[in-house]
Amino acid sequence: MATPSIGDLLADRYSLAAHINDDSSGRQVWRGMDVLLNRPVTVVLRIPGGDAAEEMLAAAVAASRVNHPNIVGVYDAVDQGDCAYVVREWVEGQSLRDAISATALEVVDVVEIVQCVAAAVAAVHATGVAHGNIHPGTVLLSTDDRAVLADPRADATATQVGDVRALGATLYCALTGGWPRTVPGPVSLPDGPVDAGGDPLPVSQVRDDVPERLDTLVSELLSAQIAPPSAADLSTELSRLARIADDSTGALALVTPDPDRPQPPLPPRSMRKRLLVGAGALVGLAIAGLIAAMVLIPGEQPTDPGETAQNQTGEEAGQEDDTPAEPTRLELSPDRITVVDPDDGDDSARQNPGFVVDGDGGTAWKTSVYKQVDWGGFKEGMGLLIDLGEEHEVATVNLRMSVSGTTVGVYVGDPGMPGTTPELTVIAEAQDDAGESVTFTPVTDAPATRYLLVWCSVPAELGFEQYQWTVTEIEVFAR
What does 297-333 look like in DSSP terms, one character per residue?
PTT-PPPPTT----B---PPTT--TTSPPPPEEBP--
pLDDT in tens, 13-29: 999 988 887 766 678 88
The secondary element (H helix, E strand) that includes residue 196 is: none
Give CA–CA dist 45/221, Å, rounded: 35
Give CA–CA dist 451/449, Å, rounded: 6
> CA-CA-CA-CA torsion for 424, 428, 434, 437, nearest 10 degrees?
-110
Backbone angles phi, psi at 7, to 5 degrees: 100, -15
Give CA–CA dist 435/414, Å, rounded: 28
Cis omega (within 30 of 0) for bond into 418: no
Q: Give the CA count within 13 Å in the CB-facing half-sphere of 58.
A: 14
Give CA–CA dist 387/356, Å, rounded: 13
Give CA–CA dist 147/72, Å, rounded: 10
Question: Which residues are CB-contacts of 179 (< 8 A; sequence separation ≥ 6)?
Answer: 135, 169, 172, 173, 185, 186, 189, 190, 191, 192
Contact 42, 446 (CB under 8 A): no
Give CA–CA dist 181/189, Å, rounded: 10
Question: 10-residue block means of pLDDT along the chain (479 residues)?
Answer: 84 90 77 91 90 85 85 91 91 89 88 94 90 92 88 77 96 95 88 90 92 92 90 90 44 42 37 32 27 42 36 36 63 89 81 86 86 84 89 86 87 57 66 82 71 90 86 87
Q: Give the CA count within 13 Å in the CB-facing half-sphere of 177.
A: 9
| Confidence at residue 414, expressed as pLDDT on a 0 to 100 scale | 58
Beta partners for 386? 337, 452
Q: Which of 363, 369, 367, 365 is nearest to 344 (CA)?
A: 367
Give CA–CA dist 45/87, Å, rounded: 9
* Residue environment code for 22-58, b if the CB has 16+ CB neighbours within 10 A, otherwise e: ebebebbbbbbbbeeeeebbbbbbbbebeeebebbbb
pTM over 0.75: no
| Confidence at residue 316, expressed as pLDDT on a 0 to 100 scale | 37
| Confidence at residue 415, expressed as pLDDT on a 0 to 100 scale | 54
End-to-end CA distance of the chain: 28
Give CA–CA dist 17/47, Å, rounded: 18
Give CA–CA dist 63/150, Å, rounded: 9
